[in-house]
Amino acid sequence: MSNRSDKLRWQLVSGLLERFHLERVSTRYPRQLVLAGFGFVNGAISIGLIASVALLTQQAFIFPSLGATAFILFHVPMAEAAAPRNTLCGHLIGALCGWCCLALFGLQDQPTPFEDGLHWARVGAATLALASTAGLMVLLRVPHPPAAATSLVVSLGLMPALSQIPVLLAGVALLLVQALLLNRLAGIPYPVWGPAPKPETWSDNDG
């Protein structure tokens, strides 16, 4: 493989296959097909579990940008954006910015754009929410791209209640627990909080 990210992805998949005594899968099928299969299965498990919790509790544990977070956590687990600190704080910033802009423009009790169409107040709220989220993530050094989508989800009125933000963060936390368990099972030193050490301070296994 040509770069460190590719090696890490393969280490995650091959490590898990070895852990569950399925090593022959990695030798019988092309590597790219195995990686794609892992992406399919893990994506289904990740979002399926959280969606099930949301269904059972009737709470907003699942939301659109969580899918992008899941992809980052398992596709590039050692990237700065995949660190638990960045993931949790990024979504918190996005949700709070979205809600504050929703309140600022008086849209908390208004229908969503899908019901009422788009108008200037909604444009202003979405624009300011995304800009604030991007600026604060850079300022606080917790970049996590999917959080920008979270700010839009909230500012567009899809999750308008302040009480929904803790539930949203609980969904993120559930996904982080899964990322920690799976990556550590595969032998990848996924961090517990802050970004992973620089690449030169740890060695990866090509599997």
Nearest to 8 by CA among 179, 144, 183, 175: 183
- 3-class secondary-structure state, position 43: helix
Write down the pLDDT at residue 175. Answer: 93
DSSP code of 82? G
Enumerate the domain spans of the chain. 4-201
Task: Mark the ranges of the chain whose per-residue pLDDT is less than 70.
Answer: 1-3, 198-207
- 3-class secondary-structure state, position 203: coil
Write down the pLDDT at residue 202. Answer: 44
Write down the pLDDT at residue 141. Answer: 96
Q: Alpha carbon of 203 to those of 8, 71, 190, 207: distances in Å?
A: 10, 23, 13, 12
Q: What are phi and psi of 148, to 5 degrees?
A: -65, -35
Write down the pLDDT at residue 199. Answer: 56
For 45-93, the pLDDT digits (tens) are: 888 888 898 888 888 788 889 999 999 998 888 899 999 999 999 999 9
Q: How many CB atoms lie within 10 A of CB 116?
A: 11
Write down the pLDDT at residue 124. Answer: 96
Write down the pLDDT at residue 207. Answer: 40
Write down the pLDDT at residue 57. Answer: 86
Integer-rounded Cα Rg, in Å, for the chain is 19
Write down the pLDDT at residue 196. Answer: 80
CA distance 19 to 118: 51
Write down the pLDDT at residue 153. Answer: 95
